[in-house]
Amino acid sequence: MRQYGNKVQNEIYQGKVCPSIPFRFEELEQRAREKLADGPYYYVAGGAGGEETMRANRDSLDRWQIVPRMLNNVEQRDLEVTLFGETYSSPLMLAPIGVQSIVHSEGELASARAAASMNVPFIASSASTYSLEEIAAVMGDAPRWFQLYWSSDPEIAASMLGRAEASGYSAIVVTLDAPMMAWRESDLENTYLPFLSGEGVGNYVSDPVFRSRLKHPPESDPKAAALLWAKVFGNARLTWADLSFLREHTTLPILLKGILHPEDAKLAVDHGIDGIIVSNHGGRQVDGAIGALDSLPLISNAVNGKIPVLFDSGIRRGADVVKALALGASSVLLGRPYMYGLTLAGEEGVKEVIRNVMADLDLTLALSGQSSISGLDPSLLIHVDDLQRKIDRKHNLQV
């Protein structure tokens, strides 16, 4: 990974690679919009309610600004990170996104292959169209984690945990902020919920416990399977005391995804959780919630280095990654950008999104005067509110 950004840049300028997707995120999103029907597009691109939280995610990233340092010898950069005893070549991971088949026929299989080829961990969703075993099969020994939507049927949840461990997944990501679907206006307008038509239920229809709950196999009665899925998908009764159930059914590291409040971060530590992912589900669950990056330093301070804190929601470019890492994230999850890459060019599109963000990250790191991910800290950044206060204070002193 040494001088990764320079190498990618030179290959592009010299015409050694022919990009299949746009470099600019905004154009990537627009091209995906042109290709997809309203239902699939807005299911990926949309958010909860008036989408205030989606805007807050980007606003919070914009409010934190990098203050580059000079003369620091940044010829060689080190992007490596270590999590749970495993060393990864960069801090990037592919976020768990369900129903990827709505944008490309190969769905999660294409994204997983792309992640494996780029040596980026892939977090497979419970809500994937292809089963976790099928995803594992195309990844070989490449790093992968499994994201659990904690079913209201505990035996189904336990079964999925066991299947993930048996299939070579090395961590469990438990999503807490989606025990039910949020009020998503675009999806309601389009009457679009792909699960009811058999998309995104691959882990359920292949699960022995789920299948045992049906009178007839899902292949012969898909409607009954869809109705059962709707009944058991989420679990709104969970409390902190229920976390012991996870420990009873897996030996893998457990991370809680969807933590935004520092008191919840402290509770996670108190309950022996191995890691936290600061996330507001990309703005898809609670409208009017705090921007994820504004929550990150609060969580980092509350955890105080006791467990890794990862970051998700709003990442678009390398500078976003640098900001999140400087504010305490150990690693960063990439979401919608790779879904748009998948839409436009399948596996190759996902690979190019990863390559572009990684190259941008490497160059931004160097141009900020930093030579390693491990050396990033809040001193690299300033918040615009703090900057304005300094300006106002200086002005008042002069007056």
Query: Average of pLDDT values for 368-383?
Result: 96
Question: What's the CA gap between 271 and 380, in Å, rounded?
Answer: 33
Task: Supply the pLDDT for residue 385.
Answer: 87
For 257-310, what is each residue's pLDDT tens digit?
999 999 999 999 999 999 999 999 999 999 999 999 999 999 999 999 999 999
Mapped onto helix, strand or coil, the DSSP state of residue 381 is: strand
Distance CA 398, CA 214 (A): 76
Give yes or no for a contact between 172 and 247, defined as CB atoms under 8 angstroms apart: no
Q: 281 catalytic, yes or no?
A: yes
β-partners of residue 259 are 278
Nearest to 183 by CA among 289, 55, 48, 316: 48
- What's the Cα-to-Cα distance from 391 to each of 26, 149, 328, 386, 394, rounded to whole Å? 33, 47, 27, 9, 5
pLDDT tens digits for range 4-20: 999 999 999 998 888 99
pLDDT digits (tens, 9 = 90+) for 153-177: 999 999 999 999 999 999 999 999 9
Catalytic residue among 104, 281, 383, 395: 281
Asked whether 353 and 317 are in contact (CB, 8 A), the reply is no
If you average pLDDT over residues 41-46, what whole number do you get?
Answer: 98
Contact 206, 133 (CB under 8 A): yes
HEC string of 250-287? Answer: CCCCEEEEEECCHHHHHHHHHCCCCEEEECCHHHCCCC
Q: How many CB atoms lie within 10 A of CB 374?
A: 15
* Residue among 383, 365, 357 nearest 65 (CA): 383
pLDDT tens digits, 204-238: 999 999 999 999 999 999 999 999 999 999 999 99
Average pLDDT, the chain: 96
Report the pLDDT value the prediction gives residue 2, as an integer from 0 to 100.
78
Can you read off the two tokens belonging to residue 121? 């961990």
Rounded Cα gap, residues 185 and 51, in angstroms: 9
**Closest listed residue to residue 62, CA positions, set 300, 386, 384:** 384
Give the contacts of 308 (CB within 8 A, at least 6 positions apart): 83, 84, 255, 274, 275, 276, 330, 331
